[in-house]
């Protein structure tokens, strides 16, 4: 039967020899170094091409993979250049067409105003012809402001 009066023996802290404590401390340092190593190996990259180390791993995993990645990036760049070229050409065409159609509408309004004045409809002539002139002036002023804004943004 256990001795109930001898409780101090059961609750006393466990004594570890110094050599075992030092070994545990060294093992703890090794584990912490391994954890740090895992943390420092986390890498991120963005863009169409991975870093050179990743290229080697891709090539090691599948022969020709690095070449396929480069080909894909080159095709994407060619596509982007072609799209930008088409967009610039389309914008230029739209601007020219806008100017031509705007000129046609304004000249038609002015011509209609002149015709109305010729047949004696002065009020109608002023409204139609004046509207054409005001439209031309407004387009010119707004276009000039836009050109100035673009120059300012290009300088900055």
Q: Which residue has the higher pLDDT, 107 or 30?
A: 107
Inter-residue long-range contacts of 125-134, CB under 8 Å, 24+ positions, other chains counted: 132/105, 132/106, 132/107, 132/108, 133/106, 133/109
pLDDT in tens, 54-91: 888 888 888 988 899 899 999 999 999 999 999 999 98
Would you say 73 and 92 are in contact if contact means Cβ atoms under 8 Å apart?
no
Q: What's the rounded Cα separation, in Å, for the pair 106 and 131?
A: 8
pLDDT in tens, 113-150: 899 999 998 898 988 888 888 888 887 787 777 777 87
């Amino acid at each position: 039967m256990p001795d109930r009066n001898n409780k101090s023996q059961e609750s006393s802290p466990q004594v570890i020899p110094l050599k075992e404590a030092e070994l545990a401390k060294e093992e703890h340092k090794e584990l912490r170094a391994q954890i740090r190593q895992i943390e420092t190996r986390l890498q991120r990259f963005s863009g169409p091409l991975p870093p050179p180390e990743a290229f080697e791993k891709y090539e090691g995993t599948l022969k020709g993979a690095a070449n396929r990645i480069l080909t894909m990036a080159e095709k994407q760049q060619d596509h982007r250049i072609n799209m930008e070229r088409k967009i610039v050409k389309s914008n230029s065409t739209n601007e020219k067409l806008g100017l031509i159609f705007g000129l046609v509408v304004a000249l038609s309004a002015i011509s209609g105003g002149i015709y109305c004045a010729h047949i004696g409809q002065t009020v109608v002539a002023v409204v139609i012809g004046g509207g054409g002139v005001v439209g031309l002036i407004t387009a010119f002023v707004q276009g000039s402001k836009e050109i100035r804004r673009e120059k300012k943004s290009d300088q900055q």
